[in-house]
Amino acid sequence: MSIQQQYRSRAKELLQDGSVKMVIGYGEGTTATRRRPIFITNPDDTDRLVLDAACKTNLAGYLLREGLLADQKSVAIFLSPSGVRTINILASESQLSSAQVVVLGFQIQGDTVKALEGTKASDFSPLIAKRKEKRKAQPSHEMTRKLEQMTPAERFAFWEGEFSRCIKCYACRAACPMCWCRRCVVDNNQPQWVNTSSHTLGNLEWNLVRAFHLAGRCVECGNCSEACPVNIPLHLLNRRMTEEVLTAFDHYPGADEHQEPVLASFRKDDPETFIL
Amino acid sequence: MAKIGVFVCHCGENIAAKVDCTKLVAAMEGHPGVAIAHEYKYFCSEPGQESIKKAVTEHGLTGVIVAACSPRMHEATFRTACAEAGLNPYLCEIANIREQCSWVHNDGEQATQKAIEITRSLVEKVKRNNELQPIEVPVTKRALVIGGGIAGIQAALDIANAGGEVVLVEREASLGGHMAQLSETFPTLDCSQCIMTPRMVEAARHPKIKLLTYSEIEKVEGYIGNFNVTIRQKARYVDMNLCTGCGECILKCPAKKITGEFDCGLANRTAIYTPFAQAVPNKPVIDSDNCIYFKNGKCKACQRICPTGAINFEMEDELVELEIGAIVVATGFQVQNTALYGEYGYGRYPDVLTGLQFERLASASGPTGGKIQRPSDGKEPETVVFIQCAGSRDPSKGIAYCSKICCMYTAKHAMLYAHKNHDGNTRIFYMDIRAAGKGYDEFTRRAIEEDGAGYVRGRVSKLWEENGKLMVRGADTLLGRPVEVAADMVVLATAMVPQPDSKELGKTLGIGYDEYGFFNEAHLKLRPVETATAGIFLAGTCQSPKDIPDSVAQASACASKVLALFSREKLEREPIIATNNEATCSGCWGCVLACPYNAIEKKDLTDRAGNLIRRVASVNAGLCQGCGTCVTFCRSNSIDLAGFTEKQIFAAVMGL
């Protein structure tokens, strides 16, 4: 039985026996390589679910749609390992209860999709721990390295060029599962810290503020870059930030749901290398 | 309509020499909302303050900017002046054009431009300032003194004698600290024990002092007047209520070869022991690391011999929680690890000693009963070499500071030795003789002139053993030639260093410390006993190296600060506190974690029927210290800080 078939029947069972009220998964998209999120409540609809190597979007953010989990009922959701980490972060930030989330875990390797054992987010902790070590050992991405080798002026020019295309549509914010604030800081106009119009300074402010707000929280799912209509490589900023918190604080976002936020927690043996 | 008054202070020449104050005044006069702008030589002086007050009433000012020194210096001064003139003090702000401008720039023109920008920025801020009212909080009239050395005891006694309640915490089994270890004290040569032990007894018996020995600070929460302190009382394994201090157990204990800390390793002690004969409380404690029963599960000799059944091997650490109004930190010092000086052979040669070990040899309560003998063979040394600055004033070994007491105690050591060994010789290698203090220079002169202390100006480069002698090679820089001395004993004037865990304690208390771990005072000259954390004071060597008179003086100063605090029924607190916007709060509790004062609580938002809608953060105004940590953490900017609101900061930044 293919993994797609296997997960379709699993979803059907979950809906039939009433253990979940909804399954969030992937369906056919507008083109052969695109997948769109679908929300299934009727067991007969589970045949619409698709699971293949094109299912790249992190769906976890949909769990936070206002009121979805308010009735304390469970929802099943298709999640890659970075999606599971997202659940851990959202739980540690009190945005959801992981007990309400049934994980249908999968992993994409090249063109194939592998099923992952486990149903609760905590079942995946050993897998995530392994990925942390792998991430530590992983050499910097080619583009990240290239950016690091630039002089500050060259780097600034690079980002200035990239951000010049930004149209402030906030698609990155809408796509990011970590952007769950009830009111985004840029929507606060008393005072207007970040300029709303689309020009160099305002664009720079917006994208850097977002990168800082994701420090120690980004799971590198890639939703932001995928969503960006003008193809700004936003993930590069977040990737750099992830490396920073990993080396400086040994912090791998979403390791488990009891993880404390890296910028609000304090260890007495912190080397405090940033204090002169 | 804003009516802002700008007052530009020359600070004598401190500001006016760099910043063109007239130009600054002219620039401010033209700024929207500025009603008047004046300059004056010293606005902090009486006529200066009067002129501000007069301007406030005459022009009906709605805000005041004093462009002067750092707000840490005179913010309170000018805010008080404004309050006296009827203006809410929080409508007065300081533009720092001294520390942040005139003192740090060379170019007058650019400095003037910067001063204009700094002042303009504050004008924009003050336009958005709100009238704030101080918050009143009660005061718990009970002081905590941490450390039972001479500084801690002095502070405790001074507070208690004035009627204040004191909790005196000492981590060792007895009061006394380092002073109890000393032989005689400079510059009067009175016996340390004779002046120290009566104080220890007085502190222990004082009805207003609760003594907690063998105890450490576990946790400190709260703020001035209202600290909550958790103290760990370590298990003594001896019931203090039953023990009579008869000492039978100590005689019976079979584990006798444990290096004694009080005698600095020159004598051994048993596993159940009192640190020294005059200990307060004079009741033993079991060192569980070295006790045979704790190691092997067999022995209990002490328990069998104890006539009152006071030994309890099942005893556990106890946590005591106390409400405290003020804290005096008097945790003292340690002697630097002399292993750093391989060239002086400490640890390799038994007759190379630290100054503190020499104190024990010279002390009547010491292992030799006050006879100065070599630890190696018990012979009286004929020649003793003293090496000063063995650690201090040597940045290459990590300590740049002067330990302050070594010049004096080395002179004293030479004197004590001369008094006990009339035919002995002394050689003191020194860099400078620092003897500033009442009777101090006279004391070192006396050591040289009457007691024949042989001072050699220069450093020692090498020390080795030859034919039973310690050969000391150094330089006599005054004569410009090398010196070699065959010594029987060498005493190193080792540096005073902070307690090894002082940084930990600093973090527990929330007070600052320097690169070595000495605690930071609020202002070195004007607030030397206060820390930057209100309600926590410093006494003695935990702040910097000090001798006994200085430690005692500082301890009494601490007591006066504590008593001043206790003289008030209520404290007025700055109304600089955070508030949370419940409409935009997402309840991620990042602020709850980030808050160092546990001032943020979770609050339920319910509908009219009482059903829970959401949970949001809520700031407890009594606990909030206005540090702003939560403000910076909140990604949605839901938290704002009174006096430093988003709007004010934004306006100040845009004013630049």
Query: B142-228+321-331+510-566 — its CATH code?
Result: 3.50.50.60
As a whole number, the mean pLDDT across chain A is 92
Closest of B276, B272, B256 to residue B304, by C-alpha: B272
Is A148 in the same domain as A127? Answer: no
Question: What is the pLDDT at residue A145?
Answer: 85
Is A122 in the same domain as A13? Answer: yes
The residues facing B464 across adjacent strands are B471
Amino acid at B504: E
* 8 Å CB contact of B590 and A261: yes
pLDDT single digits (tens) A59-78: 999 999 878 998 899 999 99
The distance of Cα B393 from the centroid of its chain, to the nearest Å, equals 21
* 8 Å CB contact of A268 and B504: yes
Separation CA B44–CA B511 (nearest Å): 29
- Tell me if A217 sits within 8 A of A61, measured CB to CB: no
pLDDT single digits (tens) A7-64: 999 999 999 999 999 999 999 998 888 899 999 999 999 999 999 999 999 999 999 9
Closest of B189, B172, B186 to residue B262, by C-alpha: B172
Separation CA B391–CA B402 (nearest Å): 9
Answer yes or no: is A257 within a domain.
no
Which domain does A173 fall in, by range? 142-249
Question: What is the pLDDT at residue A201?
Answer: 85
Decide which of B328 and A248 is more confident: B328
Of B594, B615, B635, the CB nearest to A213: B635
**Burial of residue B339 (number of CB atoms within 10 Å: 0-12, 13-18, 19+):** exposed
Q: Is the pLDDT of residue A80 over 80?
A: yes
Strand (E) or helix (H) holding A79:
strand A75-79
Report mean pLDDT in 10-residue bins for chain B, 656 residues. 95 96 96 96 96 96 96 94 97 97 96 97 96 91 97 98 97 96 95 94 97 96 91 96 94 93 94 94 95 93 95 95 97 88 87 95 93 94 95 90 96 96 94 95 96 95 93 95 96 95 94 95 93 94 97 98 95 90 94 88 93 91 87 93 95 93
Q: How far is A201 from chain B (nearest CA, A)?
A: 14
A182 touches chain B (CB under 8 A): yes
A134 touches chain B (CB under 8 A): no
DSSP-derived pairing of the beta strands B63-68 and B92-96 = parallel
Closest of A67, A122, A64, A119 to residue A93, by C-alpha: A64
Question: What is the pLDDT at residue B111?
Answer: 97
- Which class is B334-497 in CATH? alpha beta
Question: In a mutagenesis test of the A interface, which of B588, B592, B607 is the best target, namely the one with the most A β-carbons within 10 Å?
Answer: B588
Chain B positions touching A95 (Cβ under 8 A) are: 586, 588
For residue A178, what are its two tokens?
């970590």
A249 touches chain B (CB under 8 A): no
Question: What is the pLDDT at residue B609?
Answer: 92
Is A25 in the same domain as A83? Answer: yes
- Supply angle C-alpha B99, B100, B102, rounded to 5: 70
Residue burial B38-73, b: 16+ Cβ < 10 Å; e: rest: bbbeebbeeebbebbbebbeeeebbbbbbbbbebeb
- What percent of chain A is helix, strand and coil (3-state, nearest 5)? 45, 10, 45
Cα atoms in the 13 Å half-sphere on the side-chain side of B266 = 31
* 8 Å CB contact of A265 and B593: yes
Is A114 in the same domain as A165? Answer: no
Please say whether the structural domain B578-654 has been given the CATH code 3.30.70.20. yes
Answer yes or no: is A111 within a domain.
yes
Question: What is the pLDDT at residue B589?
Answer: 93
Residue A276 pLDDT class (50, 70, 90 cuts): low
Among the candidates A111, A131, A151, a domain finishes at A131
Q: Is the pLDDT of residue A91 over 80?
A: yes
- Tell me if B325 sits within 8 A of B227, measured CB to CB: yes
Separation CA B569–CA B334 (nearest Å): 39
For domain B4-127, give its CATH number from 3.40.50, 3.30.420, 3.30.1490, 3.30.1370.
Answer: 3.40.50
Of B586, B638, B646, the CB nearest to A191: B646
Among the candidates A110, A131, A152, a domain finishes at A131
* 8 Å CB contact of A263 and B646: no
What total number of domains does chain A contain?
2
From chain B, which residues contact A within 8 Å (Cβ)? Answer: 504, 507, 583-591, 593-594, 615, 633, 635-638, 646-647, 650-651
Q: ipTM score of the complex?
A: 0.90
Decide which of A175 and A190 is more confident: A175
Answer yes or no: is A12 within a domain.
yes
For residue A193, what are its two tokens?
């810290």
A265 touches chain B (CB under 8 A): yes
Which ranges in chain B are annotated with CATH 3.40.50? 4-127
- Tell me if B460 sits within 8 A of B341, measured CB to CB: no
Is A14 in the same domain as A110? Answer: yes
